[in-house]
Amino acid sequence: MTSIDETHDPAHKSWVESANDPATEFPIQNLPFGRFRRKGERGALRIGVAIGDQILDLAAAGLIDTDDMNQLMAASAADRRRLRRAISTFLGHREADQKALDCLLAQSDAEMGLPCRIGDYTDFYTSIHHATTVGKQFRPENPLLPNYKWIPIGYHGRASSIGVSGESFVRPNGQIKAVDAETPSVGPTQRLDYELEIGVFIGTPNERGESVPMADAEARVFGLALFNDWTARDIQPWEYQPLGPFLSKNFASTLSPWIVTMEALAPFRSAFVRPVGDPQPLPYLDSAHNRLSGAFDIQLEVWLQTPKMRAAGHAGERLATSNFNDAYWTVAQMVAHHTVNGCNLQAGDLFGTGTLSGPDAAQAGSLLELSQGGKKQIHLANGETRTFLEDGDCIVLRGYCERSGARRIGFGECRGTVLPARSRR
């Protein structure tokens, strides 16, 4: 269990003045990790932490001796806590000398890469509200399959097509079979969707054949990021039976560039409680700590900026909000279940939570839910409508934590834009 210490003190200030702005997502209490280089340079990505509107180069500051983010992530939880304290002390309120200032780069002058090398990617299905709403569209009488309340459902995705916030990606082609068609056809998806997710990054690895118990599960996690698992909803239903998602998912996914560490999230933990009447988790998925504070109170938002909005200088319109606190399965349970068979996780492995929707209709984490499977048009304030995404549309995910007695922290943006499909040869 990650405890609250002096690095979380809401009164703690930094000599980086922008970090003391109440509006910043990156105060000294946050210190999320990412990889960066100066815009226009071709050098290797360096490891930094976001502090206000700046990036602290950790190697230049003498705080680490590696540019290998995966190596840093693989350290023990105790070593990671020591590094956090050292960074907090370095950035603490004191007279900033030139040497310290030379370790900073403005975020506006930086090019961000993926936070680490992602070896393997697993996508889960942790939101019972999403699973139920989508299930009703296909199985009105039985929306949840019998195993949902017993197993953290997941599938193995593709890591090579995961990109960093700010990317544009091509609308995918695929095989589609309309309900009233005798045979399928191949063409661009007409039902392109986003999925509002949290990305969970593995830190300390486990050996092959070693099951990670619940008591040790969170110590294996480095931190969390925002994650958008783009989905082609008309390719998906034709291909996913009997083996699950394939080409409807693996064409693009987008990550925010900053990993908010488990240590930074310590003040924003919540109790994990199952609804009355639901089965309690099996023993290997249960622990006293998980019941007491296994959930995370992370407020999430989805914003849409259409080409028309962009041309008018409009930043976009918020489509939905939800909270990670409403997930049916916790981070620790995902790790424990993923390894119960002896699967060896490695530093930099990524879990997606699956679409995070809340109990209310306005908390839907996908257009599939908001548009009721394409049956209901979503009316935007500028007069435009959507059921699914159109070319040029930009989706921005945002997330933040705030609680009385703690400094508000954020995750930055997870932004991606749809490009037209390419012609098939």
pLDDT digits (tens, 9 = 90+) for 104-142: 999 999 999 999 999 999 999 999 999 999 999 988 888
98 and 161 share one domain: no
> Among residues 112, 132, 156, which one ends one of the domains?
112
Element (H, E) at 173: strand 173-176
By annotation, the residues acting in catalysis are 130
Contact status, residue 304 vs residue 316, Cβ threshold 8 Å = yes
Contact status, residue 137 vs residue 179, Cβ threshold 8 Å = no
93 and 146 share one domain: no
71 and 141 share one domain: no
167 and 307 share one domain: yes
CATH of the domain at 299: 3.90.850.10
How confident is the model over 328-374, as pLDDT tens digits?
A: 999 999 999 999 999 999 999 999 999 999 999 999 999 999 999 99
Q: Is 33 inside a domain boundary?
A: yes
Q: Is 337 inside a domain boundary?
A: yes
Helices (runs of H) and strands (runs of E) counted in the chain: 10, 26
> Among residues 61, 90, 112, which one ends one of the domains?
112
Domain membership of residue 82 as a residue range: 6-112
Q: Is 238 inside a domain boundary?
A: yes
Q: Is 370 inside a domain boundary?
A: yes
Contact status, residue 398 vs residue 413, Cβ threshold 8 Å = yes
pLDDT of 94 reads 74
134 and 105 share one domain: no
pLDDT of 3 reads 87
> Among residues 53, 79, 112, which one ends one of the domains?
112
Q: What is the mean pLDDT of each run of 10 residues along the chain (425 residues)?
A: 89 96 98 98 96 98 97 97 97 85 97 98 98 92 94 97 98 95 96 98 98 98 98 96 94 98 98 95 98 98 98 98 98 98 98 98 97 97 98 98 98 98 84
Q: Is 1 inside a domain boundary?
A: no
The closest of 421, 413, 423, 334 to 166, measured between CA atoms, is 413
108 and 136 share one domain: no
233 and 153 share one domain: yes
Q: Is 191 inside a domain boundary?
A: yes
336: exposed, middle or buried (C-beta count within 10 Å: 0-12, 13-18, 19+)? buried
100 and 127 share one domain: no
Letter for the amino acid at 79?
Answer: D
pLDDT of 93 reads 73
68 and 182 share one domain: no
107 and 138 share one domain: no
Q: Please tell me the total count of domains within the chain.
A: 2
pLDDT of 346 reads 98
221 and 238 share one domain: yes
CATH of the domain at 21: 2.30.30.230
HSE (side-chain half, CA atoms, 13 Å) at 78: 0
108 and 134 share one domain: no
pLDDT of 1 reads 58
Q: Is 425 inside a domain boundary?
A: no
